[in-house]
Amino acid sequence: MPNLTKKILAATLKEQLARMPLEKITIKSLVDEAQVSRKTFYYHFQDIYDLLEWVLVDEGRRILEGRTTVATWQQGLRSVFDYFQQNRVVILNIYRSVQQNNRLLEHHVAQLVRPMLEQIFEAYPGHERVTPDDRQFILDLYTFGLIELVLHWIGSGMKPDAASQMERIDRLFSGSMYSLIQRCIETRDKPVI
């Protein structure tokens, strides 16, 4: 039953986000529309941002399920772009509402892409020979790069479309992590200039 209540509140939040920006949504309007009590809301969530984060994490987990390997990362990332485009009004309302005072979308995108990137990294031969610092640097480079690409794409009104954006990412990123791993192994004991 608790999961059902969370899903009802999540669906209500998404319906309201399709009609208005986040800052205009109140707990009262949510509980009235969802037909639950304020006490029930607060039993599950601290505030609207907590509910929003739960929605993003729950849906993100479902989007990427089974699509986080070297062979499937393109499908996983494409699913993220498609999800954002299919929920364009909701995502843009979230983006505009939290852009100035909150890094919620940035955090959410990081939670989606970082585990995927870690699995990809660990699937490449030789990854175990990369120093922990270099591993962290490579994963940060890709994570932050993808976060900024996704946020910039959302901020541009999701143009170009998801398919075009994913084609460009696939064309430029494919094989590049393996190349960085190999470069780290080759230059491991050489001084950095």
pLDDT of residue 33: 96
CB 156 within 8 A of CB 68: no
pLDDT of residue 101: 46
pLDDT of residue 190: 66
pTM: predicted TM-score of the whole model, two decimal places? 0.78
Residue 27 above 90 pLDDT? Answer: yes
> Rounded distance, CA 35 to CA 125, Å?
54
For the segment 86-90, the average pLDDT, to the nearest whole number, is 91
Least confident of 10-19, 23-32, 41-50, 66-75: 66-75
> Rounded distance, CA 60 to CA 83, Å?
9
Residue-wise pLDDT tens digits, 121-178 = 998 999 999 999 999 999 999 999 998 998 899 889 999 888 898 888 888 888 899 9
For the segment 39-56, the average pLDDT, to the nearest whole number, is 93
What integer best gives the mean pLDDT of the chain?
A: 87
CB 10 within 8 A of CB 51: yes
Q: Which residue has the higher pLDDT, 7 or 109?
A: 7
Between helix 132-155 and helix 88-98 the angle, nearest 10°, is 110
